[in-house]
Every structure is written in C-alpha cells, then in structure tokens.
C-alpha cells in the first residue's frame, strides 16, 4: 500500500505511517515514541544549555572571552541577516570543547543498560552471559586515569584526538549510540553563538547545588542576569 509521506513533522509522520499490510501505529506506540523523543532530545539538550549558561557565567572569564572571540569572528564574517550554516558550525571548535567539558561534568543521561553477550571477568567480578549491566556516564567521566583532576573544568581535554575511546560517553557508544548527537551539537552551538553574541551572563545563586530529576538541574533553578554588550 502506498503511504502518503508529504507531512514532515514527526507526529504527522507517525500518524499517517502504515506498513506493507496497511497497519497504522497504535496510539500507545505513538505516545511512547513522542515521550521518548521529548525526554531523549529536548530534556537532554535543554539541560546542557542550562549548564552552558551557568559555567560561562561562573568560570574564570577567559573561558567566556575565548568563546566570545570565536563566535564574534564568525558573526563578523556574515552579511546582515545571513543565517549560520554548517561550515560555521565546523569553525566553532573551542566553543564545542567548552560544551563537551560541560557535558562531561554534567552528563544529562546518566547511563543505560546493556546485556552481556559473553561470560567475562571485570575488576575481579565474574559477569555471566545474559546479565543486564548498567554503564554510568558520570563515573566514567570522573575517572582520574582518563581525566586527570576530574573535577577541574578544562576544555583542552578535547583538543587533538581528545579522550580515549569509550572514556567519554555522554551519547553512549556502539550500535545504540545516540543518533541525535550531531543535531544536539548543532543546537548547542547555535544557542551559544546567539547567547554570547548578545550577552554576558551572571548567575544570581552562583555555585549552587545540583539535583537530578532525572537530568541534572540547579536546585534553585538558574536565575541569570543578562548583560547586553555595548555596541
């Protein structure tokens, strides 16, 4: 059966999708997938935006200044009203290193489950085939063997070839790795561009506690003072 796919938003796409037997997706399936996408794509990325603002406001100002210089060089290369394009995103290397370090310290997804496909020994523990395992982004990202002084904010960790494979896993790894990673990178960099181009930020409750629900979030929210640049 021919499926009309002219509607491109994801909900329309799911509502009109039918398989070769003419079966449409069940309502609970659509609800599940939309909820999964809202949590997996919106919640994760908005969490990183929150922490980017917090860190840019609270870190030594040379970090903000370097991001600002990089973004202004791109902004100045554009004609009035011209939008960012993919090449501009590739130039935002320092800003992405800063975002990666924000994500290392505050991974929005804490980890996920895997199933052991073979018996193996890990750290003296015998793991039988078929066991469910939970990998944790937080503890992996704080391992001093791979990230010396793990609590220190240091975007230079991502210069060159960056962290060793599977030591930096905010987007998971292997065949189930997050398919939205590049989209998230673009969203975050566009956000950083538009933020620093216009404003400096100050947080009203600096260095406050962070709670988890399920993504990390500043316990008192993140009220900020946005200070427009003098033109």
216 near ligand HEM, rule: CB under 6 A: no
Site for ligand HEM (CB under 6 A): which residue of 16, 180, 186, 199?
A: 180
What pairs with residue 224 in β-bridges?
Answer: 203
Phi, psi angles (nearest 5°) of residue 90: -65, -25
Q: What are the tokens at 83? A: 């939008």
Strand 216-218 with 210-212, pairing: antiparallel
Q: Where does the chain have alpha helices with state H?
A: 10-16, 27-37, 44-58, 61-76, 86-91, 93-105, 137-141, 181-198
CB atoms under 10 Å from CB of 166, counted, come to: 12
Give the separation between CA 203 and CA 226, rounded to whole angstroms: 9
Instruction: Determine whether the annotation assigns residue 201 to a binding site.
Output: no
List binders of ligand HEM among 21-40 (CB under 6 A): 40
CB of 133 to ligand HEM, least distance (A): 12
138 near ligand HEM, rule: CB under 6 A: no
178 near ligand HEM, rule: CB under 6 A: yes
108 near ligand HEM, rule: CB under 6 A: yes
179 near ligand HEM, rule: CB under 6 A: yes
41/66 with CB nearer ligand HEM: 41
Q: Name which of 77, 62, 96 is nearest 188 in CA terms.
A: 96
Give burial (CB, 10 Å; 0-12/13-18/19+) of 57.
Answer: buried
166 near ligand HEM, rule: CB under 6 A: no
48 near ligand HEM, rule: CB under 6 A: yes
CB of 174 to ligand HEM, least distance (A): 6
49 near ligand HEM, rule: CB under 6 A: no
Sole residue written with tokens 């969203």? 187
Please give the annotated binding residues for heme, written as ranges: 178
| Residues within the interface to ligand HEM (CB under 6 A) | 40-41, 44-45, 48, 108-109, 112, 170-174, 176-180, 183-184
């Amino acid at each position: 059966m021919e499926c009309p796919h002219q509607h491109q938003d994801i909900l329309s796409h799911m509502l009109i999708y039918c398989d070769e037997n003419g079966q449409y997706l069940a309502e609970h399936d659509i609800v599940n997938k939309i909820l999964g996408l809202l949590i997996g794509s919106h919640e994760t990325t908005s969490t990183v935006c929150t922490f980017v603002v917090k860190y840019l406001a609270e870190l030594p100002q040379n970090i903000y200044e370097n991001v600002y210089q990089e973004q202004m060089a791109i902004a100045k290369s554009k004609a009035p009203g011209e939008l960012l394009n993919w090449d501009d995103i590739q130039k935002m290397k320092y800003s992405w290193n800063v975002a990666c370090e924000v994500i290392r310290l505050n991974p929005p997804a804490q980890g996920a489950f895997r199933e052991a496909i073979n018996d193996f020994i890990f750290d003296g523990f015998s793991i039988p085939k078929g066991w469910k395992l939970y990998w944790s982004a937080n503890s992996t990202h704080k391992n001093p063997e791979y990230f010396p002084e793990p609590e220190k904010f240091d975007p230079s960790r991502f210069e060159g070839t960056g962290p060793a494979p599977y030591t930096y896993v905010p987007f998971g790894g292997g065949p189930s790795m997050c398919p939205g990673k590049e989209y998230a990178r673009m969203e975050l960099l566009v956000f950083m561009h538009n933020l620093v181009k216009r404003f400096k930020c100050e947080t009203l409750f600096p260095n406050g506690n962070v709670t988890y629900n399920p993504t990390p979030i500043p316990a008192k929210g993140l009220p900020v003072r946005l200070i427009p640049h003098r033109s």
